[in-house]
Chain A
Amino acid sequence: MSFGSEITRRGVRGILVVPAVGLSLLLGSSIALGGSGLTEAYIHVPMPPGFRVVLTDLDGPVFADSSGKTLYDWPRRSLRNGPTGDNKDESECSSTKATVDSGLMSPYPAGLLAPDLDQRPSCTQAWPPARAAANAKPVDNWTIITRKDGIRQWAYAGYALYTSALDRQGGEVLGGSSRRSGGDGPVVRKPVGPPPDVPPGFGVVSTALGRLLVANNGFSVYVSDHDDPGHSNCDALCAETWTPILAPDLSRPRGQWSIIQRVGGVRQWAFMRKPLYLYVEDHSEVHSLKGSDVPGWHNVYTQLTPSPPKGFTAQDTTSGQTLADSHGMTIYVYSCGDDTTDQLGCDYPSETQAYRLAMCGGGDPVRCRWTFPYVLAPKNVRGGSRAAWSAIDIDPMTGRFAQPNQPAALHVWAYRGRPVYTFAGDKRPGDINADGHGEFGGRREGYRAFWLRDDYYAGND
């Protein structure tokens, strides 16, 4: 039980790993993102003039416009009653304000008037198209589409590109996340970036802890403390549990990737000179952290997420480990996408709070504060990375950002710019009673536990 433990950082010879025991939110103390320069390597792809790659704390390398703002796409996906989003070479995001629910999500019918219409942006106000100059030319995967309003817009891999009105500076990804989505959640915008610099057969996925290295079947990749740099000490017996990841004959070393020789001349992939393995106990689980429970074995991350502020802890539950407050009480995040065809967000403090107020208190902000209390930040903590953890001022009666020097404003912790909460219905550490409190288990709009590790439902993805 890790109740009360402080979250710390640790690293092993340059490879970012999650130690086996205790707190699982562990990011190397000797490695600071942006400080040591150990951020995710990516493949340099051709880009049109003015675009660049920005390294973000949460989503790795992403494409950005000339001002450094992250670029997002919005691929079409089907919901319960029909699809929305962009088809290739088209944009469905218009300057006409969507005012009613589309009825794409069951069971509620189409035509319900959306809340806070006077403050509601149009799709293009929330998601400004990445405009292409009149003389711009396609470059490699970068193409130009002509929108229905006649404006030329950049697209990548066929999908129209946008910036987010929520992002104010380079490296922010407040508009959307590359973490897992789908199912009954909204059709979300995701940051677009260059492919990670990994050999064929590997991939990188965004998780709560960082950018996790996986095999192409989604299974986690592990390294061992028992190995020497460039040499595997995992013998035949060991290899029954830890399957060496073999390098095909035609594969060649590249960048941080090398190939070591096992007994008998068998070639095995190594990352930053550490031989790589799969764990046989990862039966059907993808993105598993189970192997890191075995002493001396670790998951591998190409980069790690910033640590939560001091005082947050990790807590064992019935499904895995959640972020918790200093008393061990589970931390929750609220996420929301509306049911208009635009699928606009409704969880950021500058967006409508009508959905959240219904879920936390039946529309009563006083009850909301009682039911889902904000997590207060020390008065002397200001700002933050915005992309990950920050301290913000909230008007608790509206849920929106407070005005400067507003009386009764609360100074609270936020993740990705959105406040985090505890739940009054949790009575002791390990309770996760509000995980799924909301529509479609909280995936459409509602509260979900801040999962650091979820062995059953991949909530940390």
Chain B
Amino acid sequence: MDTIRFAAVGVALVALSLGASATQAADYVPPGGRIAYALDSLHWAIYQPKDGFVNKQECPDGVNIGPRAQFEALFPDKAHRTVVGTRLRYESDVWFPTAAPDQFVFHEGSGPIASGMNLDGKIGPNDFTSPEGEKGIDNQLYRVLGCIASYRPDDNANDYFDNDEINTDNYNRILIELTGVESLMNSPHVEVTVYRGLESLMASATGSGFVAGGTQQIDTRWGRKYIQHFQGKIIDGVLTTEPHDFVFPWATLGNPADEFMHAARFQLKLTPTAAEGLIGGYTDIETWYLQTNEEESTHHQGYGELSAPSLYKAFRRLADAYPDPKTGANTAISSALRAQFVQVFILHPENPALEASSAMPPIPYAGSPSYPRTPEQARLEQPAQITSENHR
């Protein structure tokens, strides 16, 4: 086992207990200009007003139907159903989806308001206004997920499972460490390093949350891929980082999986004990789709009326960034995550080389492998040229 920097930890603990008991950033200066946090809550940013679940503006025609209802509609002849002709046909559509037009109506999240960031610095016709009034919000993922019950806030199926396992599954133990911090209120240049930790979070006495001050060792073997560096600054207690590709572990039901964001950036309100805010960027749609299906089967997706084949088609319609150089089809979609972190102490290995970034930078999943298609197949798999009723 690596020797760890107990001395530094001791200093930090004393500093925290004596000098930073308040949860305000104020002029708090972390010892050595270094402070770390562990992710303890993560949700796709789906705007939901305070006045209800399915608001007239977000989903005026209600939420989408899921796999059970689609199965009944696709295969109504109950007397002649076969495993190959129904169940395996549906599963084939899950695992080998196409962008061909959806035979089911797909309701997109709509309305003028959505959470997120202005990723491109512009105010475009498809952009939203944030709940706080900021214009130019880029979050086309909200259109994809906004009217799928599973992703509506308030602990609906996927929203619940995805978040729950962020804090209960150590595979997902995402840490960020800020160095070069002059104060938590203002620092002109900080470096943010992402690691995967090895320890469980320290639960509060009531079990309803997590408390600051836990310790985390770094996963320098299996987690090398997740060691990444961002450059940023702190202004008025808010950390903002420069865009950088970001891969992070997000397993939900027992299969290791990743998410991948192009040009991701953190926007977090910092305190000595916690950090909270958004992670925005362009989510790779093939990686997203793979993660969802490997983690949650059609059965689990049925909890929240999530149809994977329809979801994929919506992704391909609404993806708005990173066009494939060969086909021109967009491969990523503007998106945001609501994130909360709790302060932790990172116990670094004695040998700094163990923390070296992976020699191979992360790459997104390239999607279901292409194979020789007939012209008819290729035509059917082109992005659909239709838009549903809410797509602007």
Q: Does B6 contact A (CB under 8 A)?
A: no
Residues from 310 to 354 in A contacting B, C-beta threshold 8 Å? 316-320, 338-339, 354
- The stretch of B29-37, B234-242, B297-305, B382-390 that contacts the partner chain: B297-305
- Determine which of B82, B290, B294 lies in contact with A441 in the assembled complex, contact meaning CB atoms within 8 Å: B294
B256 touches A435 (CB 8 A): yes
- Interface assignment of B57: CB less than 8 Å from any CB of chain A: no
A436:B298 contact, CB within 8 angstroms: no
Task: Collect the chain B residues with CB atoms within 8 Å of residue A427's CB.
Answer: 363, 366
Residues of B within 8 A of A320 (CB): 222
| Chain B residue contacts of A430, Cβ below 8 A | 225, 360
Write the nearest CB–CB distance from A428 to chain B, whole angstroms.
7
B247 to chain A, nearest CB (A): 10
Residues of chain A contacted by B225 (CB below 8 angstroms): 318, 430
Closest chain-A Cβ to B141's Cβ sits at a distance in Å of 21
Q: Which of A109, A316, A425, A457 contacts B254 (CB 8 A)?
A: A457
- Tell me if A86 counts as interface (CB < 8 A to partner B): no
Partner of B302, one of A106, A435, A442, A456: A106
The main secondary structure of chain A at its interface with chain B is loop
B299 touching A80, Cβ below 8 Å: yes
Choice from A107, A354, A371, A457 contacting B83 with Cβ under 8 Å: A354
B255 touches A115 (CB 8 A): no
B170 within 8 A of A: yes
Instruction: Knowing A318-B256, A437-B294, A439-B91, say if A425 contacts B84 (CB, 8 Å).
Output: no
Kindly state whether residue B122 has any CB partner on chain A within 8 Å.
no
Cα A437 to Cα B365 with chains together (Å)? 14
- A425, B302: Cβ atoms under 8 Å? no
Q: Which residues of B contact A355 (CB under 8 A)?
A: 83, 88
Q: A435-B294, A436-B294 are in contact. Are A316 and B88 (CB under 8 A)?
A: no
B281 within 8 A of A: no
8 A Cβ contacts from A401-460 to B:
423-425, 427-428, 430, 432-433, 435-442, 444, 455-457
Q: Is B392 an interface residue (CB 8 A)?
A: no
A309 within 8 A of B: no
The residue in B67, B88, B290, B366 that gathers the most chain A C-beta atoms within 10 A of its C-beta is B88
Tell me whether B171 is interfacial, beta carbon within 8 Å: yes
Please tell me which stretch of A39-47, A128-136, A357-365, A379-387 contacts chain B, meaning at least 4 of its Cβ atoms lie within 8 angstroms of it: A357-365
How distant is A114 from chain B, measured CB to nearest CB, in Å?
Answer: 6
- Smallest CB separation, B348 vs chain A (Å): 17
- Complex contacts, B302 vs chain A, CB 8 Å: 106-107
CB B163 to nearest CB in A, in angstroms, measures 18
B68 at interface by CB-CB < 8 Å: yes
Which chain B residues (334-392) contact chain A, with CB distance < 8 Å?
Answer: 360, 363, 365-369, 371-372
A101 cross-chain contacts in B, Cβ below 8 A: 83, 87
A113 interface hit (Cβ, 8 Å) = yes
CB of B84 to closest CB in A, whole Å: 5
A318 and B92 contact, Cβ closer than 8 Å, known pairs A108-B71, A184-B297, A425-B369? no
- Whether the pair A433, B290 counts as a contact (CB closer than 8 A) is yes
For the complex, give the distance between the alpha carbons of A421 and B225 in Å.
Answer: 24
Task: Kindly state whether residue B95 has any CB partner on chain A within 8 Å.
Answer: yes
User: In the complex, what residues of B have CB within 8 A of residue A80's CB?
Assistant: 299
Chain B residue with minimal CB distance to A458? B254
A179-219 vs B, CB cutoff 8 Å, 1 = contact: the mask equals: 00000100000000000000000000000000000000000
Cβ-defined contact, A370 with B371, below 8 A: yes
Contact (Cβ within 8 A) B371 A439: no
User: Which of chain B's residues has its CB closest to A368's CB?
Assistant: B371
Measured in the bound complex, the distance between the Cα atoms of B1 and A294 in whole Å is 7
A87 at the A/B interface (Cβ < 8 Å)?
Answer: no
User: Could you tell me the distance in whole angstroms from the C-beta of A27 to the nearest C-beta in chain B?
Assistant: 22
Measured in the bound complex, the distance between the Cα atoms of B142 and A88 in whole Å is 53
- The answer to whether A108 touches B222 (Cβ under 8 A) is no
Chain B's closest residue to A338 (CB) is B83
Closest to A453 in B: B222
In the complex, the answer to whether A107 meets B171 with C-beta atoms within 8 Å is no
Instruction: Tell me if A140 counts as interface (CB < 8 A to partner B).
Output: no
Do residues A107 and B299 form an inter-chain contact, with CB atoms below 8 A? yes
Given the known inter-chain contacts A113-B83, A318-B249, A427-B366, please indicate yes or no for A456 contacting B171, CB distance below 8 A: yes
Q: Judging by beta carbons under 8 Å apart, are A428 and B360 in contact?
A: yes
CA distance A439 to B225 in the complex (A): 28
A313, chain B: closest CB distance, angstroms:
17
A105 touches B299 (CB 8 A): yes
Partner of A115 from the list B82, B92, B294 (CB cut-off 8 Å) is: B82
Quick check: is B96 within 8 A (CB to CB) of the other chain? yes
| Nearest CB of chain B from residue A337's CB, rounded to whole Å | 13
Give min CB distance, B4 to chain A, whole Å: 13
Q: Which of B1, B92, B222 counts the most chain A CB atoms within 10 A?
A: B222
A432 touches B256 (CB 8 A): yes
Asked whether, in the complex, the Cβ of B366 is within 8 Å of the Cβ of A358, the reply is no
Q: Which of A112, A317, A367, A441 contacts B86 (CB 8 A)?
A: A112
Determine whether the beta carbon of A436 is less than 8 Å from that of B96: no
- B92, A363: Cβ atoms closer than 8 Å: yes
- A316 with B86: CB separation less than 8 A: no
- Considering the complex, which residues of chain B in the window 176-192 have a beta carbon less than 8 Å from any beta carbon of chain A? none
Point out the residue from B78, B93, B255, B360 that lies within 8 Å of A435, measured CB to CB: B255
A316 to B256, CA, bound (A): 13
Q: Per-residue CB proximity of B89-127 to A under 8 Å, as 1/0?
A: 111110110000000000000000000000000000000
| Contact between B255 and A107, CB atoms less than 8 A apart | no
Set of chain A residues within 8 Å of B251, measured between Cβ atoms = 456-457
Q: Is A229 an interface residue (CB 8 A)?
A: no
A319–B83 touching, CB < 8 Å: no
Is B295 in contact with chain A by the CB < 8 A criterion? yes
Flag whether A282 is at the interface (Cβ < 8 A).
no
A362 contact from B92, B222, B254, B365, Cβ within 8 A? B92
Q: Which residues of A are found within 8 Å of B96, using beta-carbon distances?
A: 361-362, 367
Among A105, A318, A424, A444, the one with the most B-chain Cβ atoms within 10 Å of its Cβ is A318
B74 to chain A, nearest CB (A): 12
What residue of chain A has the Cβ atom nearest to residue B93's Cβ? Answer: A362
Instruction: Determine if A425 and B365 form an interchain contact, defined as CB atoms under 8 angstroms apart.
Output: yes
Confirm or deny: A281 has a beta carbon within 8 angstroms of a beta carbon on chain B: yes
Interface 0/1 of B173-215, CB less than 8 Å to A: 0000000000000000000000000001000000000000000
Q: Are A358 and B92 within 8 A (Cβ)?
A: yes
- Residues of chain A lying within 8 A (CB to CB) of residue B93: 362
- Expressed in whole angstroms, the Cα–Cα distance for A296 and B150 within the complex equals 49
Q: Can you spell out 15 A-B residue pairs with CB atoms less than 8 angstroms apart?
A: A108-B86, A113-B82, A115-B82, A319-B256, A355-B88, A358-B89, A362-B93, A362-B95, A362-B96, A436-B295, A441-B253, A455-B222, A456-B222, A456-B251, A457-B254
Contacts A370-B371, A437-B294 known; 6 new A-B pairs at CB < 8 A: A318-B223, A318-B226, A318-B256, A424-B371, A441-B253, A457-B256
Residues of B within 8 A of A (CB): 1, 67-68, 71, 78, 80-84, 86-93, 95-96, 169-171, 200, 221-223, 225-226, 249, 251, 253-258, 290, 293-295, 297-299, 302, 360, 363, 365-369, 371-372
Listed in ascending order, the chain A residues whose CB lies under 8 Å from chain B are: 80, 101, 105-109, 111-115, 184, 241, 281, 283, 294, 316-320, 338-339, 354-355, 358-359, 361-363, 366-367, 370-371, 423-425, 427-428, 430, 432-433, 435-442, 444, 455-457
Nearest 8 interchain pairs by C-beta: A436-B294, A436-B255, A424-B369, A362-B92, A370-B371, A358-B88, A319-B256, A106-B299
